[in-house]
Amino acid sequence: MVGLSVGEKHFIQGGIAQDLRSDGRKRLTYRPISVETGVLAQANGSARVKLGGTDVIASVKAELGRPNHLYPDKGKVSIYVDCSPTAAPMFEGRGGEELSAELSAALQRCLLGGRSGAGAGINLSALIVVEGKMCWDLYIDGLVVSSDGNLLDALGAAIKAALSNTGIPKVNVAVGASADEEPEVDISDEEFLQFDTSGVPVIVTLTKVGRHYIADATLEEESQMSSALSVSVDRHGHICGMMKRGGAGLDPSVILDMISVSKHVSDQLIAKLDSEISAAEVDEAES
Amino acid sequence: MAGKSSSIAPTTYSPSPTLKVKKKQQQQQQPIFKDVDWVRPDGRSFQHCRPAFLRTGAVNSASGSAYAEFGNTKVIVSVFGPRESKKAMMFSDIGRLNCNVSYTTFASSIRGQGSEHKEFSSMLHKALEGAVMLESFPKTTVDVFALVLESGGSDLPVVISCASLALADAGIMMFDLVTSVSVSCLGTNLVIDPITEEESYQDGSLMITSMPSRNEVTQLTLSGDWSTPKIHEAMQLCLDACLKLGEIMRSCLREATSAPHE
Amino acid sequence: MEFVSPEGLRLDGRRPMEMRQIRGEVGAVSKADGSAIFEMGNTKVIAAVYGPREVQNRGQQMSDQALVRCEYSMANFSTGDRMRKPKGDRRSIEISLVIRQTMEACIMTHLMPRSQIDIFVQVLQADGGTRSACINAATLALADAGIPMRDLVTSCSAGYLNSTPLLDLNYIEDSAGGPDVTVGILSKLDKVTLLQMDAKLPMDIFENVMQLAVEGCKAIANYIREVLLENTKQLEHRRGI
């Protein structure tokens, strides 16, 4: 994939060891993030996030559906990611499917919490219309337009921005319908409910190259990784999901150390992302 | 199949409770989860794993195979190779590992529901690739096919442990046996080796795959809302359980080699 | 259904001969050799070009010309109702083929023998005329990649509803089932490279409708030239020439 010569590899590894990476960043610094919201007119909410050379789009669509009989008081959210061949020729045809499945599973784990819905970044109870009968199904689609490493963090940020941009139509339920009938509803096209996204976590991926770990690795740096740990952290410093990638094993104490570092990094990322999202929304309102 | 067909009683394993865990157990006198007297559906205590039954050599035509039965979870894994890589693949100076996890149509209570676990194959691959000495068989491929006969909860950990046993049976060189254990978080309780019913109500889960004698974690996934002390506790629990499971797997291998050939 | 009101206005408020707002932008994908975004009203597509580079599949290598490949894909969220289509359905394959043939006709493939050029188009929003928008985006992306072309290919559609020829159909007009002519031309050479039509039209009306589509193509070609010129000026400025 990434054709690197021995000299280039040494340069990348040496730079990381000296805390000065090829693009001049320190080990735990992110690339500049830019957020644009409301990019798709047909979706309930959408956002485009650029993280250096990585470019992703997330869209949120809401449809009315039936809640799961195990959890009648909760709505449903599903997350799918697609890797466009525009990002890399290797995603052509079915080539991107494996990565897409991996990213989708990782995002579901990070954002949707446990099976019972506890710890989910999205308040599932807010999606309910009629308990046990009708709820909003949120379909979150991510599209990788351009890939330069650290897709998971970028997708996580894009979904967070898209959710804060999402307006769900207000639904008025006709009163008087009996318990077993399908409830009659009237979907408003003017009133929209804004989404509370303060609980949506951010994902921080720490990539281990040599003895050090770096945040926000580029494609070249990712090719040199031995293993990586993605941690999703919410505003209160709670861990909402975590997964390890890469083949090499990690010592448990290193994992715990990486968790505490990622918590520290996430504080800055959340603050940066929040200001970018609010700036993007101001931009959108003006245009 | 377990116990009846073999002379050895099914071995069970459970991590030794650390100080913190003991405190937890005291809390469990008044469990907060659902009912006041919450007992696990199969009558185990919270830190008690299901009886593990392991056998190598389940499939004759394979170079190595293993059968694992943890409670109701029944898994068969066969390993083929190392054999020549397909011509279309590029030259590689290390071996390739090809993993596939499939479910039988009758694995779960609703027919054909097991197919939703697409990512299991890639997760099995990631759990194993760190342990297998791929440089020992260049230009060749090893296939690992796992079949879940019956899904009874904690499927992936069982598949991973069973696959490493099958690899060992096939004589593929590994740094260490790979063992895997998961923990579910239900209310304030940590429940080890959860069954399907517990998994469907879990608030969070942690799965650790480790190489016990090297003290390395090869795969780790976590979902749900966790605080750092709880992660510490759950990780300790998992790692200790992995260590004990590793011993059982070792004794299973030892038995298989010492048994007289027929 | 009434597609043109008595006042001569279409459903989205346009005149019959009016095109939707078009917008083109070069360099949307930093990793690609050439890329572009092209919008026609609510239709929005991204195109990325990789190459010319070594042929991936040796069997397809040609010793006298370059191999041009194209893949068209639609994002899950591109249509009004969200639907999950498997990749590579028949419609996508057909459009991929149309775009490939159109672009192959304008690329000077004989200058780059034994090499391969990949064109990937991704539909972000579909509101009628995706075929045309994809061709226009691909032209911009190819120009951005610096691939030698005979001329800029541009494409536009026109239809005939309520006895009125209409330029640049949107999704509602497109799905009305009337005749729909998609034309692709090389504007400077004044040659047609793509011509597709659904349904039937009398000969004399067809000529009118096609003429309208050709006019649309020419307008788009002018716009694309402006975008490229502007882009070159900026590059020039950055270099300090």
Residue B184 bridge partners (DSSP): B191, B205
Query: Which residues in chain B touch residue A102, judged by CB atoms under 8 angstroms apart?
Result: 119, 122
* C63 interfacial to chain A (CB closer than 8 Å): no
Chain A touched by C39 (CB under 8 Å)? no
| The pLDDT value given to residue C15 | 92
CB contact under 8 A, C120 and A89: yes
- Could you tell me the pTM of the whole model? 0.87
C35–A82 C-beta distance less than 8 A: no
A207 shares contact with chain C (CB less than 8 Å): no
List CB contacts (< 8 A) between A93 and chain C. 71, 87-88
Give the pLDDT mean for B109-121.
70
Q: What was the pLDDT predicted at C138? A: 96
Rounded distance between C-alpha atoms, residue C221 and residue A206, angstroms: 47
B220 touches chain A (CB under 8 A): yes
Among the listed ranges A113-127, A142-156, C118-132, C169-183, which one has the minimum average pLDDT value? A113-127
Whether residue A252 and residue B239 make contact (CB cut-off 8 A), yes or no, is yes
> Rounded to 5 degrees, what angle do the CA atoms A226, B181, B153 make?
125
Amino acid A130: pLDDT: 81
pLDDT at position C196: 93
The pLDDT of B39-49, averaged and rounded, is 81
Instruction: Say if residues C12 and C212 touch (Cβ distance below 8 Å).
Output: no
Residue A110 clears pLDDT 90, i.e. is over it:
no
C71 to A92: CB separation less than 8 angstroms, yes or no:
yes
Predicted confidence (pLDDT) per residue in B180-197, tens digit: 999 988 877 888 888 888
ipTM exceeds 0.90, yes or no: no
Q: In chain A, what percentage of residues exceed pLDDT 90? A: 33
Give the model's pLDDT for residue B84: 82
Among A262-266, B20-24, C15-19, which is the least confidently predicted range? Answer: B20-24
Q: Is the pLDDT of residue A74 over 90?
A: no
Q: What is the mean pLDDT of residues A204-212?
A: 90
Q: Does A80 touch chain C (CB under 8 A)?
A: yes
Mean of per-residue pLDDT scores for chain A: 86
CB contact under 8 A, B225 and A251: no
Q: CA of A57: which chain C residue's CA is closest?
A: C124
Closest CB to C48: pick one of A40, A41, A86: A86
pLDDT band at B34 (very low <50, low <70, confident <90, very high): very low
pLDDT at B9 over 80: no
Residue A121 at interface with chain B, using a CB cutoff of 8 Å: no
Q: Which residues pair with A35 in a beta bridge?
A: A49
Amino acid (one-letter) located at A277: I
Between C236 and A113, the higher pLDDT residue? C236
B105-114 pLDDT tens trace: 888 777 766 5
Q: Which of B223, B235, B239 to mutate to test the interface with A (most CBs of A within 10 A)?
A: B223
CATH (one of 3.40.630.20, 3.40.718.10, 1.10.730.10, 3.30.230.70) for C22-239: 3.30.230.70
Of the residues C31, C50, C67, the best mutation for testing chain A's interface (the one with the most A CB atoms within 10 Å of its CB) is C31
Residue with tokens 């505490």: A260
Which contacts of B253-260 are long-range, i.e. CB under 8 A and separated by 24 or more positions? B253/B56, B253/B165, B253/B168, B253/B169, B255/B8, B256/B55, B256/B56, B256/B57, B256/B169
Partner-chain contact B231 A102, CB within 8 Å: no
C60-94 residue pLDDT tens = 889 999 999 999 999 888 887 776 666 668 889 99
Q: Searching chain C, which residue's CA lies closest to the CA of residue A54?
A: C30
A68 pLDDT higher than 50:
yes
pLDDT digit string, tens, across residues A112-139: 876 666 667 777 888 888 887 888 888 9
Residue A249 forms contact with B (CB below 8 Å): yes
Residues of A in contact with C120 (CB under 8 A): 84-86, 89, 92
The CATH number given to A6-286 is: 3.30.230.70
Residue C2: is its pLDDT beyond 70? yes
CATH number of this structure's domain B19-256: 3.30.230.70
Predicted local distance difference test score (pLDDT) of residue A90: 85
Please identify which residue in the block is written with the tokens 């320190």: A26
User: In 10 A of CB A65, how many CB atoms?
Assistant: 15
Domain ranges of chain C: 22-239
Closest CA of chain A from B187, distance in Å? 9
First and final C-alpha spacing in chain C: 57
B99/A contact by beta carbon, under 8 A:
no
Q: Which two tokens stand for residue A268?
A: 């800055």
**Is some CB atom of chain C closer than 8 A to the CB atom of A89?**
yes
- For residue A86, list chain C residues with Cβ-Cβ distance below 8 A: 29, 32, 35, 46-48, 120-122
Q: What is the residue extent of each domain of chain B?
A: 19-256
Chains that touch C (3 or more CB pairs under 8 A): A
Say yes or no for a CB contact (<8 Å) between A239 and B200. Answer: no
Residues B106, B110: Cα–Cα separation, whole Å: 8
